[in-house]
Structure 1
Amino acid sequence: MDNKATTIEILFEKAENYTRTTIELARLNFIDKSSDVLSSLISRLVIAIVFAMFILLLNFGISFWIGEMLGNFFYGFFIVASFYLIISILLYSYKDQWIKLPVSNFIIGKMLK
């Protein structure tokens, strides 16, 4: 009888160790995937910020140049602002197709990698 009790105790102990190991592995996998996604998003955000600074300065130059050609500087700013209004309307119209879907596919791809 003592032999059966010992065998059952060993079985429960191995099951408990297996459960702990599985939970620890799942936790480590989650940490790995989330850190990969977060680092990718942060690196893309930094690149986007630097690119936005470039675009901002370029827009100032274009606005002043157009304004100088038209005789008043504010005309150039109105034209550039109108251009961005058109772009923002297009982006809003196609936001799911152009922004939401690619971003969610990127995150899902990183999580499943």
Structure 2
Amino acid sequence: MKYTVVLDFDGVIHSYSSGWRGKTCIPDPPVPGIREEIDKIRKFYDVVVVSTRCDTQEGMDAVKAYLKQNAIEVDAIMKEKPPAIAYVDDRAICFDGKANGLLDKIVSFKPWTEK
């Protein structure tokens, strides 16, 4: 049995340079190199893609179509994060065990797409 790695869809797979356009509108290309990296990851882990888009069938279908169109193979697509060994998300702050200063990190946080 392989452990699971969870990847967020927007900003990790879908480059998200146009921002939010609705659950079924996914206009931007994939992040450069993401398909190849997912292929490498899948040799050791199950890869699950998670997106809030997937809370409707139309959104789920749009994510599936995008992945297929871009030849990106994953093991599952879900609307909620399952237990995993690691989560890859463009809107996450890695907690380092130190609570002091966490508010400052949150206030000043910018995803890579906004830098």
Q: Which band: TM-score by shorter chain? A: under 0.3
Structure scoring higher RCO (CA < 8 A, sep ≥ 6) equals 2
Larger Rg: 1
Normalising by structure 1, we get a TM-score of 0.20
Normalising by structure 2, we get a TM-score of 0.20
